[in-house]
Structure 1
Amino acid sequence: MDGVTPKFVLPETFDGVKMEITGQLGMIWELVKAPVIVPLLQLAVYICLLMSLMLLCERVYMGIVIVFVKLFWKKPHKRYKFEPIQDDEELGSSNFPVVLVQIPMFNEREVYKLSIGAASGLSWPSDRLVIQVLDDSTDPTVKQMVEMECQRWASKGINIRYQIRENRVGYKAGALKEGLKRSYVKHCEYVVIFDADFQPEPDFLRRSIPFLVHNPNIALVQARWRFDW
């Protein structure tokens, strides 16, 4: 008797109750469908059409703007005065403004050599260029590596300064601001900022600084970024 599985028998009235509930649900659906569901679906369709129309208008507008810019917008060298700064035998390097290059860093073990090397290789008179490496690294090993790299370039005649600070107040912006407080910065006329992984071309300053020199109304020059993978 212990091994017998009990069997449950549903009364025949259960099927009738189930059919009745199903029928009532069907009636409710028919009552709600026409006055509620259909209008909501129609509203959703209209909203989608409106959004599609807005998207189309935005694409058309952007297309017109792009065509206008391509055809009529003057390129920077045509909109602004640009005259290359030439070497002068009489004036020597004094014809070039003094430029400060700031490179903020924070534990940049993999890329610190890239920006330091690129900045040290800029085509600009060495006595008119100051490179400032602002190291906020918390890893002592990385700090030592960055400092040694700066010393290596300094031994080659590059005017490069390695700067650290007691805290990281303001993070990158704070490091840049702190760097501007150094006494040797006072005679610098322009400031250039490179991230730790930037690799500017040697002629970067010769292509950008003249825009600032010959256009007093310009306070900032933003160069295009190019990613090499």
Structure 2
Amino acid sequence: MADMQGERAVGDVLPFVSPVFDLLLEAWRQVRVELLVPLLNAAVALCVVMSVILLAEKVFLGVISAAVNVLRRRSGRPYKCDPIVQDDETGSAAFPMVLVQIPMYNEKEVYHLSIGAACRLTWPADRLTVQILDDSTDDEIKELVRSECDRWAKDGVNIRYETRKDRAGYKAGNLKEGMRHGYVQGCEFVAMFDADFQPAPDFLVRTVPLLVRNPRLALVQARWEFGESCDKVTLYSVFFFSKWT
């Protein structure tokens, strides 16, 4: 008797479920035809267009590279790079004033390396200013950096240790704040190094002449190599040497 009642209940529900299921199925078909299919077609067309663009780029670069190799022409134009020579009469006056900026932020492991490398740069001492811009939040690290600057100052290096009240603008803001000091106004060129960089002693000797001999040139970007603890891979670095305006 109970089984018969259950079958009767299911039979009563089926007439209502079947139309709802049919409606849902029909709605899905419409969504698929009117929405999903056009979207998929558009995606396929976009992929085809992007593939064509990438192929055209590869072909263009290949043609240019082949043309350069065949014609033996170098890209870009050569720049004058005659070394700056000290005059016996004027002394170091032939060398422009250079400002070296090193922004720092809690650089306990590397601060002494970058400061030491900057202070060892081959350049007349009276034509070079090393500016350490310390944004450290650790008082102990600040004292270490300050002591390192004092040590080099005692050796005759014109090094300035600067801090500020807040970290507005972060590294860029720190560099900008460093430009506001009065002693910076006499500098013609600015070299910027990260706190973990160790420029070679002849960095200024090799880069400054490019800016001096080419008045229309405003920026020189060098390259660097990882240290011995990393793979020997040469990359373009963020060594920027910009003309002070």
Does TM, scored on the shorter chain, surpass 0.5?
A: yes
State the number of aligned residues: 220
Residue 89 of structure 1: CA displacement? 2.2
Residue 171 (structure 1) aligns with: 170
Select the structure with the greater relative contact order (CA < 8 A; seq sep ≥ 6): 1
Deviations 1:57-114 (A, max 9, x none): 2211222344456642356xx6222211012222211111110101111111122122
Residue 125 (structure 1) aligns with: 124
Bigger strand share: 2
Q: 1:22-171 counterparts in 2 under 5 A? A: 49-68=48-67, 71-74=72-75, 79-171=78-170
Question: For the residues of structure 2 that align with 1:48 and 1:99, how far apart are their CA atoms?
Answer: 51
Q: Which amino acid aligns with 2:74?
A: W
Distance 1:51 1:214, change over 3 A: closer
Distance 1:132 1:56, change over 3 A: same
SS at match of 2:221: coil
Residue 50 of structure 1: CA displacement? 4.7
SS at match of 1:222: strand
Q: Which amino acid aligns with 2:73?
A: F
Residue 191 (structure 1) aligns with: 190
SS at match of 1:224: strand
Q: CA RMSD in A?
A: 3.7
Deviations 1:126-159 (A, max 9, x none): 1110000000100111111111111121122111
Gaps of 5+ in 2: 1-25, 231-245
Question: For the residues of structure 1 that align with 2:156 and 2:121, how far apart are their CA atoms?
Answer: 13
SS at match of 1:117: helix
> 41-50 or 118-127: which moved more?
41-50
User: TM-score, normalization: structure 2?
Assistant: 0.70
User: TM-score, normalization: structure 1?
Assistant: 0.75
Gaps of 5+ in 1: 1-27
> 113-122 or 175-184: which moved more?
175-184
Residue 225 of structure 1: CA displacement? 3.9
Residue 48 of structure 1: CA displacement? 5.1
Structure (1 or 2) with the larger CA radius of gyration: 1
**Identical-residue share of aligned pairs (%):** 55
Residue 189 of structure 1: CA displacement? 1.4
Q: Which amino acid aligns with 2:205?
A: R
Distance 1:52 1:124, change over 3 A: same
Question: For the residues of structure 2 that align with 1:110 and 1:66, how far apart are their CA atoms?
Answer: 44
